[in-house]
Amino acid sequence: MPSTCPQSFIDLPKVELHVHMEGSIRPETLLKLAKKNDVSLPADTVEGLREWYVFRDFEHFVEIYVAISNCIKTPEDIELITREFLDGQAAQNVVHSEVTYTACTIKNLRGIPWDEQFDALKRGMKYGLETHGATMGLILDIVRGDSPDIANEVAEWAVSGHGEGVLALGLAGSEARDAARPYIEAFAHAKKHGLPIIPHAGETQGPESIWEALELCDPPRIGHGIRCMDDPALVEELKKRGTVLEVCPTSNVCLTPIASIADHPIQSMIDAGLNVTINSDDPPMFNTTLSDEYHRVSEAFGWDMAMAKQMARNALEWSYLPDDAKLLVSSRLN
Ligand SMILES: [Zn+2]
């Protein structure tokens, strides 16, 4: 489906704080990787993939996400998807992206050691910087349901890569499946080494999942967090802490009971004084882009371009870009 996004939203310089590398693989590339690596997918056309990406619930989404990850077999595949990701971000003026990447799944499915994955990611990042001036950092996530040993390994990788491209330790997967508590050792390791933890919480589950994340991770940012609106005390706590919420509107329409962008709580969250950013999560899987997200939300809530710019400024401010780079991007948002 051709994008109907107005050029003004594409031209707006943007920073993205919540987007997944494997969930951003272009459908055409996914089909090529599946063929090359002898993986059978339930579709062999882009239209077929689009039909496959109609999710019954979050568990179904995770199942499809793992099937996609299984199409990545070599470090070269990882480099390719990183390059294409940054081509796509640059084409819509996303100047900096903080990207969640699930290294443990790739290692478990395909046996690619972390150092080989990291080298491939760094080659892709170097390409993005040299070709487009687009920067990227990594959030290595633990998947809820994985063993504490795997989580400890991920935390170790994240700590060792901090300063070389890794920005934070993440926590993703199905909130319903398990609590975050089995991973306290991994969180402690990250914290001891000054690495922030950015968990997904309050997406498919209610305020208790956010309270738990606050208690265990003390996160500067939370993926989604939209269900905080069910608990006024939690809203106050998030405001007091200044926690940034990485909101992904179309993803929420696809995976939660929110029926449309107009029904999304993003406007109420902003009105409540929360620190809100706009993100795309897994853009091709939800038939969106970051520019589309800015457009859809602006249209649904009657925002003018000044408001859209303010949201872009917020994401820039709450990113891990160094101050001099922030100043440069900021000057383009005046
Ligand atoms: Zn996410």
Centre of ligand 1 to C-alpha 327, Å, is 27
Question: Span 102-112, mean pLDDT?
Answer: 96
Q: How confident is the model at residue 178 (pLDDT cuts 50, 70, 90)?
A: low
Q: Please determine, for residue 177, whether its predicted confidence score (pLDDT) is greater than 70.
A: no
Question: Span 117-138, mean pLDDT?
Answer: 98
CB atoms within 10 A of CB 166: 21
Asked whether residue 328 is assigned to any structural domain, the reply reads no
Centre of ligand 1 to C-alpha 251, Å, is 9
Asked whether residue 73 is assigned to any structural domain, the reply reads yes
For 11, phi then psi, to 5°, come to: -70, -25
Which domain range does residue 87 map to? 7-319
Question: Span 318-324, mean pLDDT?
Answer: 97
Output the domain CATH number for residue 272.
Answer: 3.20.20.140
Count structural domains, the chain: 1
User: pTM to 2 decimals?
Assistant: 0.97
Asked whether residue 294 is assigned to any structural domain, the reply reads yes
Q: Please determine, for residue 2, whether its predicted confidence score (pLDDT) is greater than 60.
A: no
Centre of ligand 1 to C-alpha 14, Å, is 18
Tens digits of per-residue pLDDT, 208-261? 999 999 999 999 999 999 999 999 999 999 999 999 999 999 999 999 999 999
Centre of ligand 1 to C-alpha 19, Å, is 6
Q: Please determine, for residue 42, whether its predicted confidence score (pLDDT) is greater than 80.
A: yes
Q: Which of 54, 24, 58, 26 is nearest to 42 (CA)?
A: 54
Asked whether residue 115 is assigned to any structural domain, the reply reads yes
Choosing from 98, 153, 203, 212, the catalytic residue is 203
Tens digits of per-residue pLDDT, 130-157? 999 999 999 999 999 999 999 999 999 9
Q: Please determine, for residue 286, whether its predicted confidence score (pLDDT) is greater than 50.
A: yes
Centre of ligand 1 to C-alpha 323, Å, is 26
Asked whether residue 324 is assigned to any structural domain, the reply reads no
**261 contacts: CB under 8 Å, gap ≥ 6:** 249, 250, 253, 296, 297, 299, 300
Asked whether residue 1 is assigned to any structural domain, the reply reads no
Q: Which of 300, 175, 206 is nearest to 250 (CA)?
A: 300
Question: Span 84-105, mean pLDDT?
Answer: 98
Q: Which of 225, 230, 267, 231 is nearest to 247 (CA)?
A: 225
Q: Which residues sit with Cβ closer than 5 angstroms to ligand 1, an ion?
A: 223, 281
Asked whether residue 185 is assigned to any structural domain, the reply reads yes
For the chain, give the mean pLDDT.
96
**Residue 1 pLDDT:** 45
203 in active site? yes
Asked whether residue 330 is assigned to any structural domain, the reply reads no
Question: Span 146-171, mean pLDDT?
Answer: 97
Q: Please determine, for residue 174, whether its predicted confidence score (pLDDT) is greater than 90.
A: no
